[in-house]
Amino acid sequence: MSIADLFDSEFKSRMKGRFSAVARVLFADGKFDEDEKLFLDKLAVKLEISDQEYEEILENPLKYELNPPYLYIERLESLYNIARVVHHDHHLGDKQETLLRKFAIALGFTVSNVDYIVNKALILIDKKVDLETFIFEMKNMNR
């Protein structure tokens, strides 16, 4: 296996893992509603998930382990990435906050301040800040 193939394989595996993690979070209530399904459809295309992988993951989202980031900085990076995807998908409307709240809790943010974190994240994403600015602002939002 060439180095290029190894990196491509690892990248594909990470994208499949991310997609399955999102599906697992959305499936926490035991079903996908119509908006969640549309969101997953679009996300699968963006992450280059094949139709076969898509069906396999949605058939049993709990089959794949959910490994939230351990480090705070990694949680912020993940929040930034998922917030950009959720915010970009304008058909979600008010469900943006609901979905992002689910993801933030799954990432390990505490329930007691998740609303504040989600609101701040969406404001920053709406301003189209880069990752570095997002992390700085999120780390310093209480100052």
Q: What is the pLDDT along the chain (143 residues), one digit of tens a residue?
A: 455 454 566 677 777 877 888 888 888 778 788 888 888 888 888 888 899 999 998 888 777 666 677 899 999 998 998 888 887 766 666 777 888 898 899 888 999 999 999 999 999 999 999 999 999 999 998 76
* Cβ burial, residue 71 (10 Å; 0-12/13-18/19+): exposed
Q: Count other Cβ atoms within 10 Å, centred on residue 58.
A: 18
The domains of the chain are located at 3-63, 72-139
DSSP, residue by residue, the chain: --HHHHHHHHHHHHHHHHHHHHHHHHTTTSS--HHHHHHHHHHHHHTT--HHHHHHHHH-GGGSPP---SSHHHHHHHHHHHHHHHHH-GGGTTHHHHHHHHHHHHHT--GGGHHHHHHHHHHHHHTT--HHHHHHHHHTTT-
What is residue 120's predicted lDDT score, i.e. its pLDDT?
A: 94
What is residue 14's predicted lDDT score, i.e. its pLDDT?
A: 73
For 113, phi then psi, to 5°, come to: -125, 15
- What's the pTM? 0.74
CB-CB contact of 124 with 138 (8 Å): yes
